[in-house]
Structure 1
Amino acid sequence: MHAAVVRDWATPPRYEVFADPTALGEHEEVVEVLASGLHPRVRSQAAGSHYTSTDTLPLIPGIDGVGRRADGTLVYFVLPDTNLGALAEQTVVDARRLVTLPASSDPVLLAAAMNPAMSSWIALRDRLSFTAGESVLIMGATGSAGQLAVQVAKHLGAGEIVVAGRGQARLDLLRALGADRTIDLAGPLEQVAADYAARAAEVDVVLDYLWGPPTELALPALLQARRDRGRLLSWIEIGSVAGPDIALPSAALRQANVHFLGSGQGSASTAGILASLPALVEELSRGSFVIDAVTRPLRDVEAVWGERSQSSGERIVLVP
């Protein structure tokens, strides 16, 4: 078969011939891959920099996708940690990690949307007890996952949605998706901190796709401006686009009732994630959420790897 293959962590995957996969385990089967998203998580996997990465090469990256089983059934699949990923004509899946799709499903749409939508879907439905009417701040809202987070929060009944990202024009576009207030992170730091205090201090939940310096700036600005610091603020760390670490002053944990938790592979159980996916598939199939999916042939993977940034809200889908 043909696949995108990583043989050196320092170079992009290359399209080449690779041995056909073989199902060996009790629940394993080979599926034909129809579409797989080029998510940030896939890029870090291919670079060997994700926290689940090992030093084992060669590697076919790709963590999920839409495929066809031997009986013709369409499925969405989530792969375990494996070196035989989804950026290939075929891959090995665990039948317990499949979601059966309607025959009319759009493979490209679901391959593009499931992973980024899952981040906020799982965070708000499973990682805490989110209640309709609560307000949400989305940090990193202009990317594809952030744009879907706006829609998911709105769908789940958020009372007010504040979005933070770089570029006022791009932030303004999020109002059509449900955003109520905006914070442009491209401004002077003093102004950004003041905007956090004025526009987001009273939120109930933060969905943080950025971490790093933006979080270091936002955290004290939010906590110090809250009228009632004893009211719970749930801060959910989902991504680290802006940096893997923050300096957290001890006072931040004493001066306000803030609860930090993560949402990602490991912090949410595989069984719990899979149990939440059929409902998400249903909403995506119904057209409840929109995403800008860009289809590219798998054979162009090496060129695609270097030519596009996904910060614009596009999600590239590679099709064998």
Structure 2
Amino acid sequence: METTLKAVTIQAFGSPEGLAVIDLPAPAPGAGQVLIATEAIGVGGVDAVIRSGALAAYGFTEGHIPGGEVAGTVIAVGDDVDTSWIGQRVWAFTGVGGGYVEQAIAAIEEVLPLPASLSAVDAVTLGSSGVVAHFGLSHARFAPGESVLVRGAAGSIGIMTVQLAAHGGAGAVAVTTSSAERGERLRALGATHVLDRSGEGGADAPAGYDVIIDIVAGADMPSFFAKLNPNGRMVAVGAVGGQPPADFGMRMMAAFRKSMSFATFSADTVAGPERRAVRTEQFAAASRGALHTVVHEVLPLEQAVSAHRKMDAGEVFGRIVLTP
């Protein structure tokens, strides 16, 4: 009798109700791969964007299994993979999908052993977001003493960016968020100024910023160019608010003499060994309490629809984690 496992797929693009739990045949790892019995599955903003259908033009189809990172125990390995991996607790990047499952496949180069004191839930809260935050700041050429604005700071990437900027000696770390309560939680993590979603508020906030890390994008993104200092740099590391207007570059051209820069950043452009080294450092830092993960809620895999509803409603502070 064929063994099956539970998985969540996108049956129809659009609302969270388009997600469904189905049974799939148990997978087998191929050459260079491992099979992981998942204990925790990270729910990311990109999962919601893919589910909405906004990225269908990039090859995502209905039937896609969301989820890019999992943590659990290796239960089988493919050809050319050392059998000593079997039984190890690991974090793994599954790619642009394939994570919302009871057993996940990952390439061995995207698998990292977990410190004994780091939980699977904390690992998937930190694993991808910490790397994006680290290299996003690096891409912006952030230097100690500079002022940083994190737009959309309440998600896991924003929370890690706030901490890393503060630890890196930022002169100021401003955040945009939706409520005073969230602002206070971000202050406890290193923010020095709290602004509303439009970037206003905070009477003592800097007039401009050397670096803006933008996780939101969307229609309002061009208005934040006005908040850049001369020679300021904005880096978009996400687009949970959708794509910016097609003519957003005109706002930069209008401020030509300020020599501002805009860039996008994807961790796909960072070499695997570099990502691995940073992630290893961050897992160790979290294990000793030097970095703090923020888990909004842990839900069963079968409640992926509920998780996505909360994401769409903007209710999440930190990360939602699914468990099989």
TM (norm. structure 1) is 0.84
| Counterparts of 1:217 and 1:41, CA distance in 2 | 23
Q: Is the 8 A contact 1:196 1:218 kept in 2?
A: no
| Counterparts of 1:22 and 1:311, CA distance in 2 | 37
Report the counterpart of residue 261 of structure 2 in structure 1. Answer: 259
Q: Is the 8 A contact 2:132 2:267 kept in 1?
A: no
SS state of the match for residue 209, structure 2?
A: coil
SS state of the match for residue 67, structure 2?
A: coil
| Matched letter for residue 238 of structure 1 | V
2:160 maps to 1:148: yes
2:138 maps to 1:133: no
C-alpha displacement of 1:94 = 0.2
SS state of the match for residue 236, structure 1?
A: strand
Q: Larger strand proportion, structure 1 or 2?
A: 2
SS state of the match for residue 25, structure 2?
A: coil
2:288 maps to 1:306: no
2:211 maps to 1:205: yes
TM (norm. structure 2) is 0.83
C-alpha displacement of 1:294 = 1.2
2:64 maps to 1:65: no
Q: Give the total of aligned pairs.
A: 303
C-alpha displacement of 1:173 = 3.3
SS state of the match for residue 47, structure 2?
A: helix
Q: Is the 8 A contact 1:28 1:92 kept in 2?
A: yes
Q: Over residues 33-68 of structure 1, what are the superposed CA-to-partner deviations in whole Å (9 max), with x where a residue is unaligned?
A: 111111111222333433784244422211111121
C-alpha displacement of 1:197 = 11
| Counterparts of 1:91 and 1:143, CA distance in 2 | 24
Match of 2:26 among 12, 20, 24: 20
| Counterparts of 2:21 and 2:70, CA distance in 1 | 18
2:319 maps to 1:315: yes
| Counterparts of 1:275 and 1:46, CA distance in 2 | 31
Q: Is the 8 A contact 1:140 1:208 kept in 2?
A: yes
- Percent identity of paired positions between Structure 1 and Structure 2: 24
- Report which stretch shifted further, 176-185 or 266-275: 266-275
Query: CA distance change for structure 1 residues 283 and 311 in 2, over 3 Å: closer, same or farther?
Result: farther
SS state of the match for residue 145, structure 1?
A: helix
Report the counterpart of residue 35 of structure 1 in structure 2. Answer: 40
Q: Is the 8 A contact 1:148 1:291 kept in 2?
A: no
| Counterparts of 2:197 and 2:69, CA distance in 1 | 31
Long gaps (5+) in structure 1: none
| Counterparts of 2:302 and 2:310, CA distance in 1 | 14
Long gaps (5+) in structure 2: 76-85
